Amino acid sequence: MTDERARANLQPLSLHVPEPRFRPGDPVDFADVAVPPVDAARRPDTAADPRSFHELAFGLVRVLELDGTAGGQWNPRLSPDQMRRMLRNMALTRAFDERMFRAQRQGKTSFYMKSLGEEAVSIGAAAALADDDMCFPSYRQQGILLSRGCPLVDMMNQIYSNRGDKLMGRQLPIMYSEKRFGFFSISGNLTTQYPQAVGWAMASAAKGDTRIAATWCGEGSTAEGDFHSACTFASVYRAPVIFNVVNNQWAISSFSGFAGAEATTFAARAIGYGIAGLRVDGNDALAVYAATQWAAERARTNGGPTLIEHFTYRAEGHSTSDDPTQYRSAGEPNAWPLGDPVVRLRDHLIALGEWDEERHAQMDRELAEEVRAAQKEAEKNGVLGHGMHQPFETMFEGVFEQTPWHLKEQQAQMIAERQAAGI
């Protein structure tokens, strides 16, 4: 212990432990969340020096106003067809999530994670990337797979761990792996995909390829050491990679303050690494598209990496195993000042005279039917818990390229034990 008398004239220290503004039962007021107008953010040259991104890392790149109009330097001026395609993919992601969430509640699978409210983050990025750019997603970018045309039945087969599951029932639901759609195998371990994406991008550059990599993590996961290592590597080698931080305000029950959001933005982390940093309205599909397109061009012209913070809100629980009413105010999702990404793009198209309520309702009906039909098809291959859908001996395969003796022995032992037990 220290000498009490010698230190008696000093103020006692106090430990700051962050606390979210609203807990269950609290009224919600997001008035202090800055929503700058769409013309507030300048669009720099894609070769701009990373040191010049201060205001963009602390500001907010926006294209869509909440009234449905679009403007500003970042407006990507997409054709109505392109925007309708994005709208459809967002609505499809929402319909898919809704259906699979219900399937979990019906006991057809063990687990599911929705991306409600964050659809623009995946769909806007997927629309701006080339189809053969490699994505290293977290578990909440199912919109990329849907954008890239992955069959719904294949995704559902994985969720059900059934006979049609290409991952042979080995993986937790939603931990997809789809090399043919440039979608890297999802891991349960957070942010491990970040340095891997950098490595993929470095390999592409070393080989003189033209493809780039993009990766995603949540704001909570930026606290992992992998995030720091990935940013350092990407900066050092000017890797053609796009870092996406999906700041949805919540990491399960921890608000973003526990990842450092009280002191700075996540986009601002880029500045310290010498990486271009953009902070983007994550509920604005056109802003996400524009930022991704900008970062992709920067990467493709050897300008190096970009970190994009997507400022959004996790409108649902973390997963089917989570109950957000235990730790945050129920009023938050509806009070979120950046609105709903589907509604905002819909209203924009309507304002342009390129869409209407009736067509939107019709689209939703079609998508619900498409998802329902896919579900019916997938369930023909079985659902979780109704018997083992993969031959049990396959669990020993694929640990190594060739199965070594000790695994073959364990496999033979298991077969013998089950035969002896009559199962």
Name the 3-class secondary structure at 32: coil
Q: Which is nearer to other proteins, 93 or 191 (CB)?
A: 191
CA distance 139 to 314: 13
Beta-strand pair 250-251/254-255: antiparallel
Q: Which two tokens stand for residue 296?
A: 């992709």
Report if residue 41 touches other proteins, rule: CB under 8 A: no
Q: Which is nearer to other proteins, 357 or 401 (CB)?
A: 401
CA distance 15 to 77: 49
CB of 211 to other proteins, least distance (A): 9
Of positions 20, 50, 117, 199, contacts other proteins by CB under 8 A? 199
Report if residue 177 touches other proteins, rule: CB under 8 A: yes
Contacts 24+ apart (CB under 8 A), 40-49: 40/72, 41/72, 41/73, 41/74, 42/73, 43/73, 43/74, 43/290, 43/294, 46/294, 46/297, 46/298, 46/301, 46/303, 47/298, 47/301, 47/303, 48/276
CB hemisphere CA count around 77 (13 angstroms): 2
Of positions 119, 178, 219, 309, contacts other proteins by CB under 8 A? 178
Site string for other proteins, 132-171 (x = CB under 8 A): --x-x-----------------------------xxx-xx
Listed in sequence order, the residues at least 6 apart from 299 whose beta carbon sits closer than 8 Å to its beta carbon are: 201, 212, 240, 241, 242, 305, 306
Name the segment binding other proteins (CB under 8 A); options: 103-111, 172-180, 303-311, 415-423: 172-180
How many residues belong to the chain? 423
Of positions 82, 110, 192, 254, contacts other proteins by CB under 8 A? 192
CB of 246 to other proteins, least distance (A): 20
Q: Which is nearer to other proteins, 35 or 414 (CB)?
A: 414
Name the segment binding other proteins (CB under 8 A); options: 104-112, 202-210, 295-303, 360-368: 202-210
Question: Among all chains, which residue has been given the structure tokens 């979210």?
Answer: 20
Of positions 13, 81, 179, 420, contacts other proteins by CB under 8 A? 179
Name the 3-class secondary structure at 276: strand
CA distance 265 to 159: 35
Torsion of CA 73, 74, 79, 82, to 10 degrees: 180
Which residues ranging from 217 to 256 are in contact with other proteins (CB under 8 A)?
225-226, 228-230, 232-233, 236
Report if residue 201 touches other proteins, rule: CB under 8 A: yes
Report if residue 206 touches other proteins, rule: CB under 8 A: yes
CB of 321 to other proteins, least distance (A): 20
CB of 106 to other proteins, least distance (A): 26
Name the segment binding other proteins (CB under 8 A); options: 13-21, 50-58, 204-212, 345-353: 204-212
Report if residue 122 touches other proteins, rule: CB under 8 A: no
CA distance 372 to 146: 15
Q: Which is nearer to other proteins, 14 or 189 (CB)?
A: 189
Which residues ranging from 394 to 423 are in contact with other proteins (CB under 8 A)?
398-401, 404-406
Q: Which is nearer to other proteins, 53 or 183 (CB)?
A: 183
Name the segment binding other proteins (CB under 8 A); options: 38-46, 48-56, 183-191, 341-349: 183-191
Report if residue 380 touches other proteins, rule: CB under 8 A: no
Report if residue 311 touches other proteins, rule: CB under 8 A: no
Q: Which is nearer to other proteins, 170 or 365 (CB)?
A: 170
Q: Which two tokens stand for residue 33?
A: 């969340």
CA distance 283 to 120: 6
Report if residue 203 touches other proteins, rule: CB under 8 A: yes
Of positions 53, 139, 194, 313, contacts other proteins by CB under 8 A? 194
Phi, psi torsion values for 310, nearest 5 degrees:
-100, 110
Question: Among all chains, which residue has been given the structure tokens 């719904």?
Answer: 152
Q: How wide is the angle at C-alpha 341 spanned by C-alphas 340 and 342, nearest 5°?
A: 95
CA distance 258 to 255: 6
Listed in sequence order, the residues at least 6 apart from 69 whose beta carbon sits closer than 8 Å to its beta carbon are: 348, 351
- Report the catalytic residues: 314, 318, 327
Question: Among all chains, which residue has been given the structure tokens 């709903």?
Answer: 340
Q: Which is nearer to other proteins, 358 or 401 (CB)?
A: 401
Beta carbons of 82 and 127 less than 8 angstroms apart: yes
Beta-strand pair 241-247/250-251: unpaired
Name the segment binding other proteins (CB under 8 A); options: 110-118, 145-153, 178-186, 302-310: 178-186
Residues that bind other proteins (CB under 8 A): 134, 136, 166-168, 170-171, 175, 177-179, 184-185, 187-189, 192, 194-207, 213, 225-226, 228-230, 232-233, 236, 398-401, 404-406
